[in-house]
């Protein structure tokens, strides 16, 4: 059967060539979504091995983040940028799950998940989620959770206001712009929990800052954060 399945896959790939979502090259049998070369060459930050790394530094003096890390560099790695583009704008949800799984595998080796109780994907505003059909952070969180063996909560944290596009704003303006854009559910549900926020790309850190400020209002809550990529400027 394996042989026949293989033939069938080869036949299908003649009709519908499958290409890597990171580099566009043809995938070979057994490769799924991301080719082996991309898997190996995605430039890892390895920040999870470095206390006081640049992701954690981003929040110094802004809000208390226990641990912070990112899988790759957004602006230095065209493969990761391409993968995230295909996830967010081409609707290939499986990329989020797969990258989440890949990253969680590295994190798990280093004990990063120890002490963490629950995973919260950074929510999109409902209208944006409706337009896109899904929240990319939900997909990433799903992959991470499966490997980490942790539960995911998709309803506790909600985005209540849309913010204007932030790319042309100054750091200070961005900072004010994110105050109070998230709302939480019944705080008893997260009391004394260590929450892991999951996002796709960390740029200024203002979204994470806004989520964290809201979450740590609850007694005993700690927040850590991971993302698929960080845009270091
Ligand atoms: Zn590739």
Distance from residue 220's CA to the centre of ligand 1 (Å): 43
Report the separation in Å between the CA atom of 27 and the middle of ligand 1, taken as the mean of its atom positions: 8
Closest CA to 180 of 195, 163, 204: 163
pTM of the model: 0.88
pLDDT of residue 12: 63
In the chain, domain spans: 1-41, 42-230
* Cα-to-centroid distance, 22 and ligand 1 (Å): 5
The burial of 94, by beta-carbon neighbours within 10 Å (0-12 exposed, 13-18 middle, 19 or more buried), is given as middle
State the Cα–Cα distance between residues 97 and 143, nearest whole angstrom.
4
The hierarchical CATH code for the domain 42-230 is 3.40.50.2020
User: Which residue in 47, 25, 46 sits closest to 34, CA to CA?
Assistant: 25
Q: How far is the CA of 99 from the centre of ligand 1 (A)?
A: 13
Predicted local distance difference test score (pLDDT) of residue 165: 47
Q: Give me ligand 1 centre to Cα 134, in Å.
A: 24
* Residues having C-beta closer than 5 Å to ion ligand 1: 20, 22-23, 35, 38
In three-state secondary structure terms, 203 is coil
DSSP letters for 88-157: HHS--HHHHHHHHHHHHHHHHHTTTTTT--EEEEPPPPHHHHHHHSS-HHHHHHHHHHHHHT--B-SSSE
CA of 109 to the centre of ligand 1 (A): 24
Ligand 1 centroid–CA 32 distance in Å is: 10
pLDDT in tens, 91-143: 999 999 999 999 999 999 999 999 999 999 999 999 999 999 999 999 999 99
Query: pLDDT tens digit string along 62-85?
Result: 999 999 999 999 987 889 999 999
């Amino acid at each position: 059967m394996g042989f026949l399945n293989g033939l069938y896959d080869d036949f299908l790939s003649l009709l519908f060539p499958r290409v890597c979502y990171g580099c566009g090259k043809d995938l070979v049998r057994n490769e799924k979504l991301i080719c082996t070369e991309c898997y190996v060459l995605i430039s890892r930050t390895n920040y999870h091995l470095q206390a006081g790394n640049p992701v954690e530094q981003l929040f110094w003096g802004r809000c208390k983040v226990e641990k912070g890390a990112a899988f790759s560099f957004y602006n230095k790695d065209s493969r990761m940028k391409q993968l995230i583009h295909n996830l967010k704008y081409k609707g290939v949800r499986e990329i989020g799950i797969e990258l989440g799984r890949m990253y969680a595998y590295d994190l798990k080796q280093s004990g990063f998940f120890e002490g963490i109780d629950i995973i919260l994907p950074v929510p999109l505003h409902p209208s944006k989620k409706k337009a896109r059909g899904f929240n990319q952070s939900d997909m990433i969180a799903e992959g991470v959770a499966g490997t980490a063996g942790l539960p995911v909560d998709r309803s506790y944290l909600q985005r209540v206001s849309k913010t204007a596009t932030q790319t042309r704003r100054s750091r200070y303006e961005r900072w004010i712009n994110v105050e109070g854009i998230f709302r939480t559910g019944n705080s008893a549900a997260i009391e004394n929990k260590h929450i892991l926020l999951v996002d796709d790309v960390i740029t200024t850190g203002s979204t994470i800052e806004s989520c964290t400020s809201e979450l740590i209002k609850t007694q005993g809550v700690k927040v850590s954060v991971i993302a698929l990529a960080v845009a270091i400027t």
